[in-house]
């Protein structure tokens, strides 16, 4: 890869006493025209292809030359920018990351799953997301940051005396202490997906969660201007 140190190339044969002479057809890549013994690590100075011929010798006997190819490729130029993404609240559902260039790369970082970003899994902080692309054996990458906000509505709502029990639950979950302005309850799985939604019909409700898989979830209880996020566990 252009500009990056190569791996050393070590030669072996049927005898530990063999010696090796090699020639290089293209010195423009940054490797000398010839040498004896292994090819040590070098830093390519130009892209291109070179044929290297290695001739083994044991005592007075010369073996059959072997030729292999060295390809020096450019690191792909990669761009990725999250500046257009509105900072999400920690309780927001997972969403697709904007595309990087060139296409076909992979994302990595806190809260990343495939091409999606999950604010809840990432947590409240400023996170660095990396987009990497590999072409012709060379990998380039670009990073950008995203900030997950606790959001003031969530902070205010957390002071409300809502009680959820039993937790963990094996099926039935009781919620008490909801205010009259509460509108919806959403069950959110560990991947940030809303798997079920209920309309609030009083200051207490009993939810039947028996049809959902064992695991960790979040309950998102929402009014017009407040959100409460509660961690629960379904354990069967």
Tokens of 9: 């190339």
The average pLDDT across 86-95 equals 85
Residue in this structure with the two tokens 């044991």, named with its chain if needed: 58
What average pLDDT does range 214-233 have in this prediction? Answer: 86
pLDDT band at 152 (very low <50, low <70, confident <90, very high): low
pLDDT tens digit sequence for 69-86 = 999 988 899 999 999 998
| Residue pLDDT, tens place only, 28-42 | 999 999 999 999 999
Q: Which of 219, 222, 182 is nearest to 202 (CA)?
A: 182
Nearest to 56 by CA among 48, 71, 66: 66
* pLDDT given at position 166: 93
Q: Which residue has the higher pLDDT, 93 or 164?
A: 164
Run of H or E including 142: strand 138-148
- Three-class SS of residue 36? strand
Beta bridge pairs of residue 219: 187, 230
Q: Do residues 88 and 95 lie in contact, with contact meaning Cβ atoms separated by under 8 Å? A: yes
Q: Which DSSP helix (H) or strand (E) runs through 198?
A: strand 194-199
In this predicted model, which residue has the larger pLDDT, 120 or 10? 10
The overall average pLDDT reported for the chain is 89
DSSP H helices in 25-123: 119-122
CA 144 – CA 4 distance, rounded (Å): 23
Given a cut of 70, whether residue 159 has pLDDT beyond it is no
Q: Which domains does the chain have, with CATH numbers?
A: 19-72 (no CATH), 95-148 (no CATH), 152-234 (2.60.40.3080)
**Res 226: pLDDT:** 78
Per-residue pLDDT at 3 exceeds 80: no
Rounded average pLDDT over 194-217: 93
SS3 46: coil
Rounded CA-CA distance 21/215 in Å is: 62
Distance of CA 84 to the CA centre of its chain: 20
Compute the average pLDDT of residues 12-37: 93
pLDDT for position 92:
80
Q: Are strands 61-62 and 95-96 parallel, antiparallel or unpaired?
A: unpaired
Share of the chain above pLDDT 70, in %: 96
How confident is residue 156, by pLDDT bands cut at 50, 70 and 90? very low
| Rounded distance between C-alpha atoms, residue 22 and residue 39, angstroms | 9
């Amino acid at each position: 890869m252009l500009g990056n140190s190569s791996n050393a190339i070590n030669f072996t044969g049927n005898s530990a006493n063999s010696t090796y002479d090699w020639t290089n057809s293209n010195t423009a890549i940054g490797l000398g025209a010839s040498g004896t013994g292994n090819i040590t690590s070098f830093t390519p100075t130009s892209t291109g292809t070179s044929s290297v011929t290695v001739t083994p010798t044991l005592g007075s006997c010369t073996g059959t030359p072997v030729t292999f190819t060295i390809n020096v490729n450019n690191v792909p130029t990669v761009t990725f920018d999250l500046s257009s993404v509105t900072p999400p609240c920690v309780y927001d559902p997972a969403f697709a990351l904007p595309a990087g260039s060139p296409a076909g790369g992979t994302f990595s970082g806190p809260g990343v799953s495939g091409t999606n970003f999950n604010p809840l899994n990432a947590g409240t902080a400023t996170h660095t997301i990396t987009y990497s692309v590999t072409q012709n054996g060379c990998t380039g990458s670009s990073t950008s940051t995203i900030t997950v906000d606790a959001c003031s509505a969530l902070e205010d709502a957390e002071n409300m005396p809502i009680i959820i029990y039993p937790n963990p639950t094996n099926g039935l979950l009781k919620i008490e202490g909801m205010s009259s302005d509460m509108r919806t309850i959403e069950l959110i799985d560990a991947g940030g997906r809303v798997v079920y939604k209920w309309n609030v019909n009083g200051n207490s409700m009993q939810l039947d969660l028996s049809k959902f898989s064992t695991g960790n979830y979040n309950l998102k209880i929402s009014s017009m201007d407040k959100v409460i996020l509660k961690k629960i566990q379904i354990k069967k």
